Amino acid sequence: MSESFPVEEFTRVESIFVRHRNALAVRAQLTPVYTDYYLHLMQFGIRHSPELDQMLKDLIAGLTLHLVARPWAETIAWTANLRAPRVNFFVTGGSTQESITGRLFTEDVRETDRDLFYSQTLARPGAEARVSTLPIDGRDPLKWVEQYYTQSEQRPARIFRLADETFVLLAAQPDFDAEWFESVTADEIAALESTEETRLLETRRFRFHCGCNLGKILPILGTWSSRPEELFEDAESITVQCPRCAANYEISRSMFENMD
């Protein structure tokens, strides 16, 4: 479990069962997560275009909701590889860690013949990860999540963007009311508890947090241990990015040489 932080720094995510409709509604107000995300960008001087920034935030929202629709112990990572613009979106998180993080890759992105979505799910530490890959359409990450549910989760899902940075994932359960599920509107989802019989199943909480540090970043350079001159060339230090959150770490020659 993560170290103790004030509750207001976390986003509270509610898992709500909609009786008679046999659907699960997962709801979260993402402002605390987004606030920490922007503080992270400011700390490390990271800038995204407005379009890519919003897309990354939407994918973070989608994974946060999905994590609460899944068992507690799972750690999940999603990557979306787009051709135009050529960019990778990466998000990962887990309920046990109470955290989610993500970043963009805009350099050295592998070119593919279609836009692809990769999901990697680790059921528990040490277990073999479950991996799925599917083609995706469009530029709306919330629609990618819906496509993922149809093809990989093998059940329909819809994601609603409500006011005040609130999102709701509606996921079908066995014997769900298909007509209601397909026709329900965002306004009706916003008023769900006043129009439908519901039951709060559980709540979980998340914050934008990677957990990386210099001690975790240094081993990434282990393959260069016998070739320090190639790594540093004429410089006394280099900057290494965290592959999960893009945080920058300056590593000097002496740090590298003293690495265990």
DSSP 185-245: -HHHHHTHHHHS-EEEEEEEEEEE-----HHHHGGGGGGGTT-HHHHHTT-SEEEEE-TTT
- Give the strand pairing for 87-94 and 75-82: antiparallel
Alpha helix stretches (DSSP H) within 76-227:
141-148, 178-183, 186-190, 192-195, 214-217
List residues bridging with 29 in a β-sheet. 166
pLDDT digits (tens, 9 = 90+) for 74-102: 999 999 999 988 999 999 999 999 999 99
pLDDT digits (tens, 9 = 90+) for 93-142: 999 999 999 999 999 898 888 999 999 999 988 889 999 999 999 999 99
Q: What are the DSSP E strand ranges found in the chain?
A: 11-18, 23-29, 75-82, 87-94, 99-105, 116-122, 130-135, 157-162, 166-172, 198-208, 237-241, 248-252
pLDDT digits (tens, 9 = 90+) for 161-176: 999 999 999 999 999 9
pLDDT for 174 = 97
pLDDT for 2 = 42
pTM, full prediction: 0.93
Q: How many CA atoms lie within 13 A of 103 on its CB side?
A: 17
| For residue 201, pLDDT beyond 80 | yes
Domain boundaries defined on the chain: 7-208, 214-257
Q: Which CATH class is domain 7-208?
A: alpha beta
Among residues of the chain, what percentage have pLDDT more than 70? Answer: 96
pLDDT digits (tens, 9 = 90+) for 219-243: 888 777 777 787 888 888 899 999 9
pLDDT band at 69 (very low <50, low <70, confident <90, very high): very high
pLDDT band at 260 (very low <50, low <70, confident <90, very high): low
pLDDT band at 64 (very low <50, low <70, confident <90, very high): very high
pLDDT digits (tens, 9 = 90+) for 18-60: 999 999 999 999 999 999 999 999 999 999 999 999 999 999 9
